[in-house]
Amino acid sequence: MSTIEHPLAAALPRAERLHDRATLEAATARMGADITGALEGERAVFLTVMNGGMFFAAPLALAIGCDLEFDYVHATRYGDATVGREIQWRRRPQVGLAGRTVILADDILDEGYTLAALRDYCVAEGARRVLIAVLCEKRHGRRVPGLQADFVGVYVPDRYVFGYGLDYFGQGRNLSAIYALPEGET
């Protein structure tokens, strides 16, 4: 098969491994303990941001030491592309958010347009507070003003990253590490 059909096969040999599975699991365990402390026994709504967030959200939920109510949301700016566009809602949460603490669990905080839209949706639905937990946060200065993650697993450089939930043209989400392409490549 050609690299056009499987672009990951061409990208992976050029990529740098940034964070291995053990590092990501340790970061997730630390975040779970931090979230447990922040919740102080409250039963929060745990919203997984699909699709990339599911690889991180499941072990994070298991690391949180208090009861949670689960749902998911699917909104994207990327689809299988590498450049973002307008938010596309594929599924909104079904559980009631009014008066509740909501944990948004996502794979990455990059510029933050998707997470900002999700946060704003939760607030508009009456959430008492929204906590954002991301596996990784990209280091740069292009973030949506006023948006920040409450819990961050690892930091990644301002390069195209993939693996452990993050995709490369719809591929590589199930890689057990996070990789980065060389600067300027997508």
**Is residue 73 within 8 Å of 95, Cβ to Cβ?**
no
Closest CA to 114 of 73, 153, 59: 73
Percentages helix, strand, coil for the chain (3-state, rounded to 5) are 25, 30, 40
Report the helix count and the strand count for the chain, using DSSP H and E.
4, 9
- Strands 151-156 and 88-91, sheet pairing: unpaired
Which pair of tokens denotes residue 123? 């607030």
**Which of the residues are catalytic?**
110
Residue given tokens 């997508």 in the structure block? 186
